[in-house]
């Protein structure tokens, strides 16, 4: 998209409160349908296939005793017809009850509450680091287009999105824990350390709020390796999008005009190039953040990070249906909300954009 | 990246600020665009092609190139890389180099195969949706929306786990995750071409709907879909390796790269076990990205926009 000058865009805003309310209502409505649809997909897939949740949880010996299996199926309502099972699930869902995990016997909602802050902390760390680095490198590549720096950054960013995260995790782990010993091996804190009293559930934030500085440092140290691993993939994406969107802006006449009237180069870049380009960057950062929340599975697996990804993995291998549906709904909800926020941010950054 | 378009609604630029530049772009011929491209971009595509060619040769001739059979437990376990075992040996005394070379025979053909299948299913469904419209369109595209909104790796994990842990099931899982992007792209392309005069004239000559789709529309919409497929192979290989890494794909003793990285993670004091298979994945995916990137610019500048990329 070639965007016109910010100076030209100061027209009257079209967003009225009533229009905004209509927009929000429709988007949230669509979102709700999608979320329920996702439970249906999860339900159908896990029922059409031969996998057996009882077998996944109970183990061999218990499985050979039909009464135990029957009791177990009965306890979770798995002996009812499939359609009835789903309707029961929807009914409970409407009450805000996500069911009981078939694997650890806790309510799925409280399980999610326990695991979400850990992943949120990780994803926030990763997105902050990767946006800062990615936008700077992308800007540099665009400004030095076609020169050596551009070429190097382009190859590096392609490499960033080409390396499997689980492998990057392993390599960083071996180098910085196993060989150099700079960072701890995994988990959110050293073994045996009491986490700070829960406010947000994010240990670094909670430690600051309680003024426990040594705890903060420790939590941060544990955050670095998994956070950087997650960030590397996102840096690659951010670089490429920043470069592309800056390049689309930079050839506009108003940029030439800004240079011609003698503005320092940095002012031109900051005020006339970066600001319009921020649009695309906001979108990418928002979506990348949503991707991070579901993309942590492989990283959490290596670093023993007790987040939503590890929970999803455990639910999947145990065929823990309520948990799978809970995680999927959570991630889908995040996507929907972030999309909404991105679209709202769009209309704030560029008044010409209509909310529809 | 696709979720904005998933929800269909949302912010779009009022008016069409980019129509001017799009027109300019389309007026340029293919050779014009190639000439305008910075010179270092072409070598990138060539490098990617060369790496891929190398891996294809390795995959075909693995039994001739590899010094040992992939599953032969013959050496001292955990031998570090040396002149005798270039990539060292793993916990069972298997030669890591041989296993990495044989791994190409799993990841490359499966990556290509599953992209082909996902592409066929997705673009056929999308074309039907775009061509026939109405209820068919609604049902197919809402279904695609659902699969799109479902977080990819979680859906793949659930499918792979539910079907039972095997490589075939992991491939199926990745297909289930990947078909919707083809459906969406092909629907858009077909919608754009449906009202062309050549389609109308084919119908007037009595050609049936499916026949028209195959003989008139297919050749005209194939380009962008193939570009998407080329770009998608990289993602497919990554996702498949990820599932194997989690133990939901290839099972031991298969010499699959993702599973080998997982063995490396279990024996992280011996860095060479996980390092080399991961390097193999990275080079293959990087090569596909090099090629796909150049292809995207070269074949059709509109594709990028239609994909929301």
Tokens of B47: 């490098």
Q: How many domains does chain B have?
A: 1
pLDDT above 90 as % of chain A? 4
Count CB atoms within 10 A of the CB of residue B138: 11
Q: What is the CA radius of gyration of chain B?
A: 23
> Looking at the partner chain, which of A45, A339, A352 has a beta carbon nearest the beta carbon of B159?
A45
Residue B95 falls within a domain, yes or no?
no
Q: Does A39 touch chain B (CB under 8 A)?
A: no
Q: Is the pLDDT of residue A102 over 70?
A: yes
Our measurement of the distance from residue A221's CA atom to the centroid of its chain's CA atoms, rounded to an integer in Å, reads 21
What are the chain B neighbours of A283 within 8 Å (beta carbons)?
4
The mean pLDDT of A267-275, rounded to a whole number, is 82
DSSP B99-132: HHHHHHHHHHHHHHHHHHHHHHHHHHHHHHHHHH
Q: Which two tokens stand for residue B271?
A: 């860095």
Q: Which of A40, A43, A51, A167 to mutate to test the interface with B (most CBs of B within 10 A)?
A: A167
Q: Which domains does chain A have, with CATH numbers?
A: 117-319+331-349 (1.10.3720.10)
Per the CB < 8 Å rule, is B162 touching A46? Answer: yes
Whether B90 is covered by a domain: the verdict is no
Query: Poorest-confidence range of A122-136, B32-46, B66-80?
Result: B32-46
Contact B38 A346 (CB under 8 A): no
> Residue B211 is part of a domain; what is its CATH number?
1.10.3720.10
Q: Does residue A6 register a pLDDT over 80?
A: no
Please report, to the nearest 10 degrees, the dihedral formed by the alpha carbons of residues B175, B178, B183, B189 taken in order: -130
Q: CA-to-CA distance for B289 and A105, rounded, in angstroms?
A: 44
Interface of A with B in 6-25 (CB under 8 A): 14
Q: B5 in a domain, yes or no?
A: no
B247, part of any domain: yes
Residue B295: inside a domain = yes
Selecting from B11, B146, B262 the residue whose C-beta is nearest the C-beta of A38 gives B146
Q: Which of B138, B145, B150, B275 to mutate to test the interface with A (most CBs of A within 10 A)?
A: B150
| End-to-end C-alpha distance for chain B, whole angstroms | 7
Q: A14 and B145 in contact by Cβ < 8 A?
A: no
For testing contact with chain A, the best of B2, B80, B149 (most A CBs within 10 A): B149
3-class SS of residue A301 = helix
B293–A283: do the CB atoms touch at under 8 Å? no
Confidence of residue A48 (pLDDT cuts 50, 70, 90): low
pTM value is 0.80
Helix (H, G, I), strand (E, B) or coil at B249: coil
Task: Give the Cα-Cα-Cα angle B218, B289, B124 (nearest 5 degrees).
Answer: 20
Q: Shortest CA distance to A188 belongs to which of A310, A348, A320, A354?
A: A310
- Asked if A159 and B274 come within 8 Å (Cβ–Cβ), the reply is no
CA torsion A24-A25-A28-A29 (nearest 10°) is -150
Picking from B41-55, B56-70, B89-103, B288-302, which range would have the lowest pLDDT averaged per residue? Answer: B288-302
**β-bridge partners, A354:** B12
- How far does the CA of residue A209 sit from the closest CA of chain B (Å)? 33
Asked whether residue A208 carries a pLDDT value surpassing 60, the answer given is yes
More reliable by pLDDT, A95 or A78: A95
Q: Which of A337, A326, A342, A331 is nearest to A294 (CA)?
A: A331
A183 close to A177: Cβ distance less than 8 angstroms: yes
- Please tell me what DSSP assigns to residue A6: G
CA angle B149/B244/B155 to nearest 5° reads 15
Nearest alpha-carbon partner for A203 in A183, A217, A185, A224: A217
pLDDT at A5: 41
For B39, other C-beta atoms within 10 Å of its C-beta total 8
Q: Residue A239 and residue A246: Cα distance in Å, rounded?
A: 11
Question: B236 in a domain, yes or no?
Answer: yes
DSSP annotation string for A132-196: HHHHHHHHHHHHTTTSHHHHHHHHHHHHHHHS-HHHHHHHHIIIIIIIS--S--SSSS-TTPPPP
Question: How many angstroms separate the CA atoms of A309 and B239, rounded?
Answer: 15
Query: By mean pLDDT, which of A149-158, A180-189, A205-214, B35-44 is the weakest?
Result: B35-44
Q: Rounded mean pLDDT of chain A?
A: 80
Chain B, residues 106-165, CB within 8 A of chain A, namely 142, 145-147, 149-155, 157-164
Q: Give the max Cα distance, chain A.
A: 85
Tokens linked to B303? 């594709």
Render A194-208 in DSSP notation, one character per residue. Answer: PPPPPSSS-HHHHHH
Under 8 Å between Cβ of B77 and B269: no
What is the torsion angle, in degrees rounded to the nearest 10, for the CA atoms of residue B46, residue B48, residue B51 and residue B56?
Answer: -100
Name the residue in chain B with its Cα closest to that of A345: B11
**CA atoms in the 13 A half-sphere facing the CB of A60:** 0
pLDDT value at position B114?
A: 92
What was the pLDDT predicted at A14?
55
What integer is the mean pLDDT of B269-279?
90
Q: What three-state secondary structure class fits A284?
A: helix
Q: How far apart are CA A273 and CA A257, in angstroms?
A: 12
Q: Is the preceding peptide bond at B253 cis, omega within 30 degrees of 0?
A: yes
Query: A27-47 pLDDT, tens per residue?
Result: 888 888 888 888 887 777 767
- Of A295, A209, A104, A337, the C-alpha closest to B235 is A295
Mean pLDDT of chain B: 79
User: How do strand B12-13 and strand A353-354 relate by DSSP bridges?
Assistant: antiparallel
How many CB atoms within 10 Å of residue A305?
26
What percent of chain B is predicted at pLDDT more than 70? 82
**Residues of chain B contacting residue A342, judged by C-beta atoms under 8 Å apart:** 4
Question: How far, rounded to the nearest angstrom, does the alpha carbon of residue B135 sit from its chain's CA centroid?
Answer: 30
Q: B300 versus B188: which is more confidently predicted? A: B188
User: Does the pLDDT at position A238 exceed 80?
Assistant: yes
Q: Which residues touch A82 (CB under 8 Å, ≥6 apart)?
A: A47
Q: Report pLDDT digits (tens) over B69-85.
A: 888 887 788 878 888 88
* Distant-in-sequence, close-in-space partners of A123: CB < 8 Å, separation ≥ 6: A230, A289, A292, A293, A296
- The pLDDT score that the predictor gives to residue A3 is 41
Task: Report the run of H or E that residue A354 belongs to, with start and end.
Answer: strand A353-354
Q: State the CB neighbour count (10 A cutoff) for residue A242.
A: 28
Q: Which residues of B259-289 are buried (b: 16+ CB within 10 A; e: fewer)?
A: bbbbbbbeebebbbbbbbbbbbbbbbbbbbb
Domain span including residue B273: 109-308
pLDDT at B10: 35
| Average pLDDT over every residue of A187-196 | 78
Which pLDDT does position A59 carry in this prediction? Answer: 67
Residue A356 neighbours by CB under 8 Å, 6+ apart: A23, B9, B10, B11, B12
Structure tokens at A245: 């969107």
The distance in angstroms from the start CA to the end CA of chain A is 19
Q: Tell me what the mean pLDDT of segment A94-105 comes to.
A: 78
B10: left (phi over 0), alpha (psi -120 to 50) or beta: left
More confident of the two residues A40 and B244: B244
In this prediction the ipTM stands at 0.79
pLDDT of residue A296: 84
Determine whether the interchain pair A49/B159 forms a contact, defined as Cβ–Cβ distance below 8 Å: yes
Contact, A176 vs A225, CB < 8 A? yes
- A7-22 pLDDT, tens digit per residue, is 444 444 556 777 778 8
Q: Which residues of A touch B307 (CB under 8 A)?
A: none
For residue B200, is it within any domain?
A: yes
Q: Is residue B206 part of a domain?
A: yes
Q: How many helices (H) and strands (E) does chain B have?
A: 14, 1
Both structure tokens of B96: 């890591």
Where is pLDDT greater, at A235 or A88? Answer: A235
φ, ψ (nearest 5 deg) of residue B12: -130, 150
What pLDDT, on the 0 to 100 scale, is given for residue B1?
Answer: 36
Buried b (16+ CB within 10 A) or exposed e, B6-28: bbeebbebeeebeeeeeeeeeee
What is the torsion angle, in degrees rounded to the nearest 10, for the CA atoms of residue B49, residue A157, residue A251 and residue A277?
A: 140
d(CA B295, CA A184): 43
pLDDT at A8: 40
Cβ contacts of B289 on chain A, cutoff 8 Å? 158, 161-162
Distance of CA A60 to the CA centre of its chain: 37
Where is average pLDDT lowest: A251-260, B35-44, B182-191? B35-44
**Pick from A47, A27, A31: which is nearest to A89 by CA?**
A47
Asked if B19 has any chain A CB less than 8 Å from its own CB, the reply is no
Across residues B100-109, what is the average pLDDT? 91
pLDDT for residue A133: 92
């Amino acid at each position: 998209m070639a965007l016109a000058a910010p100076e030209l865009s100061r027209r009257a805003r079209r967003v009225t409160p009533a229009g905004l309310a209509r927009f929000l209502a429709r988007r949230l409505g669509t979102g709700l349908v999608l979320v329920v649809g996702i439970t249906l997909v999860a339900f159908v897939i896990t029922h059409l296939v031969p996998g057996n949740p009882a077998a996944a949880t109970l183990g061999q010996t218990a499985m050979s005793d039909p009464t135990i299996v029957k009791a177990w199926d009965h306890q979770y309502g798995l002996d009812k017809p499939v359609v009835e099972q789903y309707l029961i699930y929807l009914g409970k869902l409407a009450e805000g009850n996500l069911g009981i995990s078939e694997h650890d016997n806790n309510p799925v909602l409280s399980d999610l509450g326990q695991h979400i802050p850990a992943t949120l902390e990780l994803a926030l760390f990763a997105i902050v680091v990767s946006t800062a680095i990615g936008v700077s490198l992308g800007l540099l590549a665009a400004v030095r287009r076609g020169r050596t720096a551009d070429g190097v950054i382009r190859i590096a960013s392609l490499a960033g999105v080409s390396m499997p995260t689980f492998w990057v995790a392993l390599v960083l782990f071996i180098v910085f824990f196993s060989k150099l010993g700079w960072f701890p091996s995994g988990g959110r804190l050293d073994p045996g350390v009491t986490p700070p009293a829960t406010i947000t559930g994010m240990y670094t934030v909670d430690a600051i709020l309680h003024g426990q500085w040594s705890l903060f440092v420790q939590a941060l140290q544990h955050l670095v390796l998994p956070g950087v691993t997650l960030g590397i993939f996102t840096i690659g994406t951010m670089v490429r999008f920043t470069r592309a969107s800056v390049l689309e802006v930079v050839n506009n006449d108003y940029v030439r005009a800004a240079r011609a009237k003698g503005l320092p180069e940095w002012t031109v870049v900051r005020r006339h190039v970066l600001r319009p380009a921020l649009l695309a960057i906001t979108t990418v950062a928002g979506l990348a953040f949503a991707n991070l929340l579901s993309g942590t599975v492989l990283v959490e697996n290596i670093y023993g990070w007790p987040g939503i990804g590890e929970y999803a993995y455990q639910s999947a291998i145990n065929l823990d249906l309520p948990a799978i549906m809970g995680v999927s709904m959570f991630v889908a909800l995040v996507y929907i909300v972030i999309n909404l926020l991105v679209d709202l941010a769009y209309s704030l950054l560029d008044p010409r954009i209509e909310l529809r | 990246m696709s979720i904005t378009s998933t929800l269909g609604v949302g912010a779009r630029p009022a008016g069409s600020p980019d129509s001017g530049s799009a027109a300019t772009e389309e007026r340029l011929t293919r050779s014009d665009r190639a000439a305008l491209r910075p010179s270092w971009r072409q070598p990138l595509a060539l490098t990617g092609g060369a790496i891929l060619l190398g891996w294809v040769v390795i995959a075909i001739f693995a039994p001739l190139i590899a010094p040992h059979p992939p599953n032969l437990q013959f050496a001292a376990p955990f031998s570090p890389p040396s002149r005798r075992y270039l990539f060292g040996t793993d916990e069972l005394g298997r030669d890591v180099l041989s296993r990495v070379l044989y791994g190409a025979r799993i990841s490359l053909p499966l990556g290509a195969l599953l992209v082909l299948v996902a592409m066929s299913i997705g673009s056929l469904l999308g074309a039907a949706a775009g061509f026939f419209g109405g209820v068919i369109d609604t049902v197919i595209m809402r279904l695609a929306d659902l699969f799109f909104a479902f977080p990819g790796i979680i859906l793949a994990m659930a499918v792979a786990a539910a079907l039972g842990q095997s490589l075939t099931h992991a491939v199926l899982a990745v297909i289930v995750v990947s078909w919707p992007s083809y459906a969406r792209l092909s629907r858009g392309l077909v919608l754009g071409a449906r009202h062309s005069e050549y389609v109308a004239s084919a119908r007037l000559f009595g050609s049936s709907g499916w026949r028209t789709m195959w003989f008139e529309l297919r050749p005209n919409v194939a380009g962008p879909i193939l570009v998407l497929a080329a770009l998608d192979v990289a993602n497919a290989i990554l996702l498949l390796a990820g599932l194997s890494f989690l133990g939901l794909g290839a099972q031991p003793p298969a010499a699959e790269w993702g599973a080998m990285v997982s063995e490396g993670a279990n024996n992280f004091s011996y860095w060479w076990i996980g390092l080399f298979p991961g390097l193999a994945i990275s080079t293959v995916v990087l090569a596909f990205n090099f090629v796909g990137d150049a292809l995207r610019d070269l074949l059709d500048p509109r594709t990028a926009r239609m994909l929301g990329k």
